[in-house]
Structure 1
Amino acid sequence: MKSLFTFIICLIALTVTGQNKYNFDTTKTEELRVRDGLPNFFKKLKEGKNVTIGYIGGSITNGGLWRAKSLEWFKSEYPKATISQVNAAIGGTGPDYGACRIQNHLLQHNPDMVFIEYRVNNGGVYQGRAFEGLISQIWKHNPTTEICIVYTIAQWMKNDIQKGKQTSAGIWMEPVANHYGITSIEFGLEVMKQLKAGKLVFKKGDSPADGKIIFSKDGVHPIEAGHDIYRDVLVRSLKSIENYGVVGVNKIPSPTRENVFSNAKMVPVTEAKFSTNWESVDLSGEVDINDDLTDKNNGAKTLYNKAFQTSKVGASFTFKWEGFLLGLTTLLDKKGAIQIEVTTDGGAPKIVDLKSRKGSPRPKYFFLNELKDGSHITTIKVVKLEPEKVFQVGQFLVVDN
C-alpha cells in the first residue's frame, strides 16, 4: 500500500509539473496553506458590504454545526457587513455530483466566498478532475469569488494525519489547490493534537471520557464539541490572513489534465424520449434545495428536481447528449431489486444493478463509464423489478469539454 501511495503522489506531481502556482508538498498536511489568500472576501467584510458565503460538501457541512458557528463568528467579527449564507451541501455526495449541480444550487445565488468540504466524501473521485471542475466553474461565474478548502477528519484518516501526512482524497485535492492558488485549512491536525494530549476521545466509547471532549459518536460526524474545534481552527486561520493577498480577479489557469469537470451540468429528465408506462414522481412535500438556503438538504427533490418512474419491465427511455461522461439521478435499492440495461451508441448492452450501499431504498446518483468526448445516444431499459419496486430517473448529469 505504501508503494502504491508513493506512486500515486509521483503521478500527480508529474501531471502538473511546470504548471503549479505553488509547490507545497502534497504528501503532507498543514493547518493553514494560504497560497493566494482571500483578499476580495475580506475587503467586502471590512467595508461593511453585503456578503454571501456559500458552503458545498457532504453531511459534515450540510447538517454540521461548524457551518453555523462560522457564520455566527463572521457576523460578530464584522458587524458592519450584512452576511448571509447559501448551504449547498448534501450528505453522501461527492464533487462529481457537486460539479454537475454547483451552478443550479450555489452559483446562481452569487456567493462572494465558497467553502468546499469534500475530503471525507471522496474529493479525489476521478483523480481530482471533478474537484478541479468546481474551482473553474466558480471563477467562470465570478472571477472575484474567493474559495477555501476545509479538510475535515474521519476515523480512517487518524494515523496519517497524526504523522502530518495528507490523506484519502486530499492527495488529489492539494495538487489542485497548488495549481489554482487556493487556500486550504486542515481541521484534523488540531483534533489529533488534542487526542494525543489526552484531552479528547475521538469516538464515543473508544476510551473513558471523564473530563474529556467527545469528538464524535460515529468516527465521522462531530458532535457540537467537535464542531467547536473545527470553528476555532477556521477562525484563527482566517484571522491570520485577513490582510493578506492582492485584491482583484482570479485567473483560471490551464487545467491540470484532460477531461476536467469544468463543463459539468444537470440536464432535465424531460430532455429524454420515454416509452409508454412512465409517470411523474410526486415530489410535493419535498423541500427544494433553493427554498431555504440555510436548512439541511435532504430528500428526493434535492437529487431529482423532477423525475419519472415506471413499474413495468421493458419500459425504456433514450437520451441524446454531448460529452464524455453521463450520470443518472435515480432510486437505489437492495441488491438485485432493480436492474437496467444500458446501451450507448449501438454498443454492447450492459446490465447495471441499482444497489444501494445500505441495502435500502435511497435517492442517489451514479455515473456510467467514461467515453470519448462527443455526441452520444444512450438507451436505458428496465430488465428486472422485484414486486412493488419502481425504477425512478431524475435529472441527468452530463460532463463535457
Structure 2
Amino acid sequence: MALLAVTCSTVALGGQGPGESFPLVEAVECRPRGGLPNALAKLATGGEVRVAYIGGSITAANGWRPMTTRWLAQTYPDAKVVEINAAIGGTGSDLGVFRFRRDVLEHKPALVFIEFAVNDGGFAPDLILRTMEGMVRQARSQDSTIDICFVYTLTDGMVPTLAAGKFPRSASAMEKVADYYGIPSIHMGMEVVRLHKEGKLVLRAAPRTAEEKAALGDKIVFSADGVHPHAETGHKLYLEAIVRSFQKMRGVGTAGARPPLPPLTQGNYENARLVPVSRATMSAGWRRLDPQKDALAGRFSKYLPDLHVAAQAGESLSLRFRGTYVGFMDLLGPDCGQVVVSIDDGPPVMVARFDAYSTYHRIGSFAAGRDLPAGVHTVKVTLDGTPLDKAAILSRLNNRMDDPKRFEGLSWYVSQVMLIGDLE
C-alpha cells in the first residue's frame, strides 16, 4: 500500500499553499479601529470583568499575559479582573478556532486577546483569514458586545520585514480581518524593532560566562532563542506596548451591541467545534485514561478531558460525519508513533505523532480532511506499526534519548475531534 507521509506536529492534510503571496500591511504599533468601548466601560464601572487570552507559548508564558492582567487590575481598581488563560504552546489559529467556544467563550469574557501571528507564520493567508474570522464570528454570534483585540508578537526572523516598515504575512492577513470587523490590533514588538535598529537591544543571546555578559554591555537582551522573550526585558516591552495602545483606545468607539456583518471570507471557520473522541467507533484495544489516576491524563485534563490511548498496531477509530472538515486534537511525545488516515475512498496518509521535539508530551493536532465536498464522509485512523528511528528524528534538533525506555512504543493519545459539521 503506497502512503503519503506527513511529519509535522500540527498539520493540515490538504493544500495550505504556504508560498502564496499576500500584500504586506504598513507596520504600526496600534490601530485602534473600533476600540474596546464595552470592555473599557465595564472596567471603569467596576464589578467582575473577565479577560481571556488565547495564543501560543508566548502567551502561555509567565509574561505579557499576567502582566497585562495585573496592569488592568491596578489601573481599574474598582473592577475585579478575572483572567482566562486559554493559551497552548506550539499551537496556531488552526487549532485555536476549534477550541475557541470551549476554552474562551464558555467563560463569558468581556475582552479577548488573540495572539497567533508567530505560530501562524508558515500558514497560507487564506487559512489565516478563515480561522481568525471564524473566532471573531463565533464571539459576535454569542455576544456582540464582546471586545476583541488582535495582538502580534515577533521572532528574530520577522524583524527585517518589520524594520523595513511592513508587517510579516501572517499579521498582514490578520489585519484584513481586523479592518473588516473594526477590531483593534497591537503589534507588541515595534519598540523591540526600534531598539534593535538603534543598537540598544540584542534579539537573541544566552551569555554564560562573565566575558560574554560583559561583551553585551548595557544592551537589552530580548530573548535566548529569538522567539520567547525574557520576562524582565522582552515581555516588559510587550506590556509597555499594551499600555500605550490602551491610552490610544480610550474614548474610541461606542459601547453597545454590534450589528451582524456578512462574512468576509466564504468558507470561514465560524462553525468549527470540538467533539469528544469517545463518540467515535473504537476498536477493542483503546483505553480511556482517568485524569484522577493517570499522571499524563491529569496533566492535560484542562484541554484534553476525554483522553484515550491505543498502543498496538492495527488499533483504529472511525466516524461518519456530515460536513467539510475533520481533524483530531491529540498528544505528541516520546512513546508515540504514527497513524494512517483515510477518508472515504481517498489514498491513505501517514501522519507522524513523534517529531524532533518529542522529548516530552505536548498538545498537537492535525486535519484529516479539510475543504471536503459537503455531504457525508467516513474517516478512519489506524495505528501504524512501522518502527521509527527516534534517535535520528530527535537529532535534527540536537535532542537525545535520555532514557531509551521512555521512547519505547508507538502509541496514539487522542482526546477531541475537530469538526465543521455534525456526526452521523
TM-score normalised by the shorter chain: which range applies?
0.7 to 0.9
Amino acid at match of 1:194: L
Contact 1:329–1:394 (Cα < 8 Å) also in 2: yes
Bigger shift: residues 122-131 or 63-72: 122-131
Provide the residue aligned with 2:338 in structure 1: 339
Which residue of 3, 21, 40 maps to 1:8? 21
Query: What is the deviation of 1:359?
Result: 4.5
Q: Relative contact order (alpha carbons < 8 A, sep ≥ 6): 1 or 2 greater?
A: 2
- Partners of 1:285 and 1:245 lie apart in 2 by 50
Unpaired runs of 5+ in structure 2?
1-16, 388-407
Query: What is the deviation of 1:62?
Result: 1.0
Query: What is the deviation of 1:305?
Result: 1.5
Provide the residue aligned with 1:16 in structure 2: none
- Partners of 1:73 and 1:276 lie apart in 2 by 52
Query: What's the CA shift string for 1:94-149, capped at 9, x where partnerless?
Result: 11111111111111110000011110111655242112111111111211010111
What TM-score do you get using the length of structure 1 for normalisation?
A: 0.86
Query: What is the deviation of 1:333?
Result: 5.0
Query: What is the deviation of 1:256?
Result: 2.0
SS at match of 2:194: helix
Contact 2:151–2:187 (Cα < 8 Å) also in 1: yes
Which residue of 15, 23, 42 maps to 1:44? 42
Q: Does 1:233 align with 2:241?
A: yes
- Partners of 2:27 and 2:188 lie apart in 1 by 10
- Partners of 1:237 and 1:37 lie apart in 2 by 10
Provide the residue aligned with 1:209 in structure 2: 216
Provide the residue aligned with 2:63 in structure 1: 65
Provide the residue aligned with 2:417 in structure 1: 396
Q: Does 1:316 align with 2:324?
A: no
- Closer, same or farther: CA 287–133 of 1 in aligned 2, 3 Å: farther
SS at match of 1:301: coil
- Closer, same or farther: CA 182–288 of 1 in aligned 2, 3 Å: farther
Provide the residue aligned with 1:270 in structure 2: 278
- Partners of 1:311 and 1:6 lie apart in 2 by 37
Unpaired runs of 5+ in structure 1?
11-25, 290-297
Q: Does 1:165 align with 2:163?
A: no
Contact 1:134–1:261 (Cα < 8 Å) also in 2: yes
- Partners of 1:339 and 1:77 lie apart in 2 by 50
**Aligned ranges 1:192-203 → 2 under 5 Å:** 192-203=193-204
What TM-score do you get using the length of structure 2 for normalisation?
A: 0.81
- Partners of 1:240 and 1:383 lie apart in 2 by 55
- Partners of 1:94 and 1:212 lie apart in 2 by 32
Query: What is the deviation of 1:9?
Result: 2.4
Provide the residue aligned with 2:192 in structure 1: 191
Query: What is the deviation of 1:5?
Result: 11
Provide the residue aligned with 2:250 in structure 1: 242
Query: What is the deviation of 1:302?
Result: 4.1
Provide the residue aligned with 2:393 in structure 1: none
Which residue of 211, 228, 240 maps to 1:221? 228
- Partners of 1:281 and 1:321 lie apart in 2 by 25
- Closer, same or farther: CA 361–328 of 1 in aligned 2, 3 Å: farther
- Closer, same or farther: CA 156–302 of 1 in aligned 2, 3 Å: farther
Amino acid at match of 1:351: M
- Closer, same or farther: CA 179–357 of 1 in aligned 2, 3 Å: farther
Bigger shift: residues 370-379 or 172-181: 370-379
Contact 2:129–2:265 (Cα < 8 Å) also in 1: no
Contact 1:164–1:189 (Cα < 8 Å) also in 2: no
Q: Does 1:78 align with 2:76?
A: yes
Query: What is the deviation of 1:361?
Result: 5.4
Query: What's the CA shift string for 1:156-186, capped at 9, x where partnerless?
Result: 1010111110104112111111111110011
Which consecutive segments of 4 or more residues in structure 1 shift more than 6 A?
Answer: 4-7, 285-289
SS at match of 1:9: coil
Contact 1:128–1:172 (Cα < 8 Å) also in 2: yes
RMSD: 2.7
Query: What is the deviation of 1:271?
Result: 0.7
Which residue of 101, 104, 128 maps to 2:102? 104
Contact 2:186–2:245 (Cα < 8 Å) also in 1: yes
- Closer, same or farther: CA 130–80 of 1 in aligned 2, 3 Å: same
- Partners of 2:104 and 2:46 lie apart in 1 by 23
Q: How many residues align?
A: 374
- Partners of 2:104 and 2:36 lie apart in 1 by 19
Amino acid at match of 1:283: P
Contact 2:327–2:369 (Cα < 8 Å) also in 1: no
- Partners of 1:282 and 1:331 lie apart in 2 by 16
Bigger shift: residues 322-331 or 183-192: 322-331
Query: What's the CA shift string for 1:16-43, capped at 9, x where partnerless?
Result: xxxxxxxxxx522211111111111111
- Partners of 1:250 and 1:395 lie apart in 2 by 32
Query: What is the deviation of 1:57?
Result: 0.5
- Partners of 2:275 and 2:225 lie apart in 1 by 36
